[in-house]
Amino acid sequence: MSATADIDDAAYTARRAAHARRKAMAPWLLMLPALIIVLIFFGIPTLYMVRMSFNLHIDQRLYVPGLTFEHYVNLFSNPLFTTAILTTIKLALIASLATVFIGYCFALLVWLKPARWRLLFIGLALAPLLISEIAIIFGWWMFFPKNGLLSYALIASGLVTNKVSLMYTEFAAFVGLVYVTLPYCFFILLSIFDGIDKRLLEASADLGATPFKSFREVMLPLTWTGILVAFSQSFIWTMGTYATPSALGPDTLWTMGFLIQEQMLGKHNWPMASALAVVLVIGVTGVMVVTRSMQSERNNFHV
Amino acid sequence: MTAQPALELRNTLRRFGSVVAVNNVSLSVGKGEFVTLLGPSGSGKTSTLRLIGGFEELDGGSILLNGQRIDHLPAYQRDTATIFQSGALFPHKTVAENVAFGLRMRKVPKDEMAKRISQSLETVRLKGYEDRYPAQLSGGQKQRVALARSLAVRPAILLFDEPLSALDLSLRLQLRAEIKRLHDELKFSAIYVTHDQGEAMAMSSRVAVMNTGSIEQIDTPETVFHAPSSEFVYTFIGESCCLPVRITASGVQDKKGETIGIVLGERLAEGDCRIYVRPSRLRLISDAAALPNRLTARIHFIEFLGDVYRYHLKAGALELAADHAGSIGKSVGDVIVIGWRTEDMRVFR
């Protein structure tokens, strides 16, 4: 009798183990479609790109298979490229900081306002996403030049007497970048705000905290993760983007995106363009690692 | 004049658009007094509390704390402390940091602060939980921390905003007793908002029953229960059966105009009225025979409530319920006589 029981126990244990294995498999199975897409359309091309960056560039041919570090050496020794890297980082940093600041204020406002305003604000924030980046650039072309909307508005308001043009300035590039990344930044931050109990602000005031203290002690720590995520997504975007800064900025604004394009299409130097892109990818990864490490370990407060 | 009250509301008014949420409420809370604002949702009790805490703008009247007007001050300058329904603990701070928050804002010295934190955590029996985060606490523990956080700053008045309504029944009863014990011990002044009449009765020095933005009655729990000033107070506090009847020269009719078998000890004036009796005060069959007020009714259904059986009865269009300890040996469909004493009955017109 006990022998049968032992066999049953063994069979039961085996079934339990099989079930546990199936359960452990489930997340991977669910991830599989996305994983396949990411690997085929992002992973493999990236590997090709890395390989390409070590190829030779001889006689105006697009590339010649080989192995050289020449492009990387060139990249970090030629002032043309080092300046471009610095310019890109500077522009991305300033634009991202501004984006996060504006997005934070906007998201805070939407969060604090009664629900009936919410849809309107969210609609406003969504609007730029309905238009392609190229169409937005055309819009800026109507806005910034000497005979543009901005110029007329400034004259009408009496702030300036002569027509001004901000077209093809670093400022225009900066505004363009902020405009493109702001909606994403806003929605990331709003989702974080929505996880916070508004009563916390009342509780904080109730215990004697001034609005500034409440912000510093309660709002900022609770939204810190959101700020970092919004910043890094904004930074990644502005680092890599090509169209907006080259269409709105001055001819001398050579960003990495611009140089990659120029090396690829103008100079027919695919390995150099790839090397630039690899550095860009590594830089962006670095930023992600840094912001990730700046997140508090207990960042799941709302759960 | 007697001693200065801890808190005084004078004709306070609060409108939301065209709705008057708080309509001319005047209220005075003595030092060490525990006053409950009791009312259904939308009666203005929470709005009144939020006016005191400074989370709503006053549209009229004045609020005095220890004799000083505070209605012009922002919430962070008022010496009040609120215990919110959700607890509203800071999720990124530990229990000790939560309790310390108000003390830090009030710039209490370090050593005094440490003393008060351990003291107030001891008061709510949460010693040893200092380093936990709110997410690691149960619902009841969270509310205890909220209470400790408010007690630690020693406010002129504690404001409770339905602090127990999110908890399950047994925990609610347990914390209710604990708040009562703390009040007996510490003698803090408090306003307690609730829609639970049991809480109001059990804890309060005085109960203010609110309805549609006004206080209907404010008195000791006993008086509010036994001598309600209005039909609303009577029906809101305790269970009651309502018998809407028409008294005519030929007898008592239900609202359909059919004569019902009711005997009343006192002659009531002719016309429509509503007779109220509490289910616990109704007597059945043999117990009813000698009572001055009697009604013949049919058993509709019977509920077993543990301590008592509740007989749901119908007489014409009238419906009522009567509690009886133990079974009376009758079943659904049987016609029985119920009776009640005249002092247990209230008539409103």
B53, B92, B133: residue with CB nearest A206: B53
- Distance (Å) from the C-alpha of residue B188 to the closest C-alpha of chain A? 17
The pLDDT score that the predictor gives to residue A303 is 36
CA distance A40 to A35: 9
Report the greatest alpha carbon distance in chain A. 104
The pLDDT score that the predictor gives to residue A298 is 56
Partners of A203 on chain B (C-beta within 8 Å) are 82, 84, 88-90
B76, B82, B88: residue with CB nearest A210: B76
The pLDDT score that the predictor gives to residue B260 is 77
The per-residue pLDDT for range B13-34, each reduced to its tens digit, is 999 988 999 999 999 999 999 9
Q: Is A197 within 8 Å of B90 when comparing Cβ atoms? A: no
Q: What contacts B28, CB < 8 A, 6 or more positions away?
A: B5, B7, B8, B9
DSSP character for B229?
A: S
- Single-letter code of the amino acid located at B26: S
Pairing mode, strands B335-340 and B283-284? antiparallel
The pLDDT score that the predictor gives to residue B29 is 95
Which of B83, B105, B154 has the highest number of chain A CBs within 10 A, making it the mutation to test binding with A? B105
- What ipTM was assigned to the predicted interfaces of this complex? 0.83
B55, B77, B92: residue with CB nearest A301: B92
Residues in chain A where the model's pLDDT stays below 50:
302-303
Which of B47, B79, B101 has the highest number of chain A CBs within 10 A, making it the mutation to test binding with A? B101
Q: Is A204 within 8 Å of B101 when comparing Cβ atoms? A: yes
The pLDDT score that the predictor gives to residue A300 is 52
SS3 A252: coil
Nearest residue of B to residue A220, measured between CA atoms: B92
- Total residue length of chain A: 303
Residue A9 C-beta-side C-alpha neighbours within 13 Å: 6
DSSP character for B212?
A: T
Query: Among positive and negative, which fits the CA dihedral B297, B299, B301, B303?
Result: positive
User: What is the pLDDT tens value at each position of chain B, 349 positions in all?
Assistant: 457 899 999 999 999 988 999 999 999 999 999 999 999 988 999 999 999 999 999 999 999 999 999 999 999 999 999 999 988 999 999 999 999 999 999 999 999 999 999 999 999 989 999 999 999 999 899 999 999 999 999 999 999 999 998 888 888 999 999 999 999 999 999 999 999 988 999 999 999 999 999 999 999 999 999 888 999 999 898 888 888 888 887 777 877 777 777 777 777 777 888 888 888 888 888 777 788 888 888 899 999 988 888 989 888 788 888 888 887 888 888 888 888 888 888 888 8
The pLDDT score that the predictor gives to residue B47 is 94
CA distance A175 to A150: 13
B80, B90, B135: residue with CB nearest A200: B90
Q: Is A204 within 8 Å of B54 when comparing Cβ atoms? A: no
pTM over 0.90: no
| Token code pair at residue A127 | 């609007």
Q: Is B133 within 8 Å of A205 when comparing Cβ atoms? A: no
Q: Is A199 within 8 Å of B135 when comparing Cβ atoms? A: no
Asked whether B43 and B210 are in contact (CB, 8 A), the reply is yes
Q: Is B101 within 8 Å of A209 when comparing Cβ atoms? A: yes
CA distance A66 to A52: 9
Judged on CB neighbours under 10 Å (0-12, 13-18, 19+), A212 is exposed
